[in-house]
């Protein structure tokens, strides 16, 4: 088997695997299983950061009490919103509506 034959075989396999159904299943799995598990795993970390903030001063208090927990929370919120949009694809406007604008 040549490199070109191997490459063509891999392309065909990828086309068969990554159907719309498979993509939707991946997004649903990420949204319903992976994201909640990651959020649950991060909770003890953010709780520890907030507890450490009580003994810190200045910028370290802000870092541990507000900034890092906020960044983590915003990252989960953003990931959830993106997955929500990907799980429910919106129909694209048709060409006639586009040309009327």
**Domain boundaries of the chain, sorted by first residue:** 41-85
* pLDDT for residue 62: 96
* pLDDT for residue 94: 60
> What's the first-to-final CA gap in the chain, in angstroms?
53
Q: What is the DSSP letter of 62?
A: H
* pLDDT for residue 100: 52
90 or 62, higher pLDDT: 62
Q: What is the DSSP letter of 56?
A: -
The answer to whether 83 and 95 have CB atoms below 8 angstroms apart is no
* pLDDT for residue 89: 63
Residues whose CB falls within 8 Å of the CB of residue 30, separated by 6 or more in sequence, listed in order = 83
Reported confidence tier of residue 64, pLDDT bands at 50, 70, 90: very high
22-60 pLDDT tens trace: 888 889 999 999 999 999 999 999 999 999 999 999 999
**What pTM was computed for the model?**
0.68
């Amino acid at each position: 088997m040549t490199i070109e034959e191997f490459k063509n075989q891999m392309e065909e396999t990828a086309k068969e695997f990554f159907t719309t159904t498979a993509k939707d299943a991946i997004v649903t799995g990420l949204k319903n299983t992976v994201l909640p598990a990651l959020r649950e795993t991060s909770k003890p970390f953010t709780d520890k950061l907030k507890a450490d903030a009580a003994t810190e001063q200045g910028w370290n208090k802000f870092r541990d009490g507000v900034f890092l927990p906020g960044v983590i929370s915003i990252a989960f919120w953003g990931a959830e919103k993106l997955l929500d949009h990907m799980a429910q694809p919106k129909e694209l406007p048709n060409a006639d509506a586009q040309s009327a604008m």
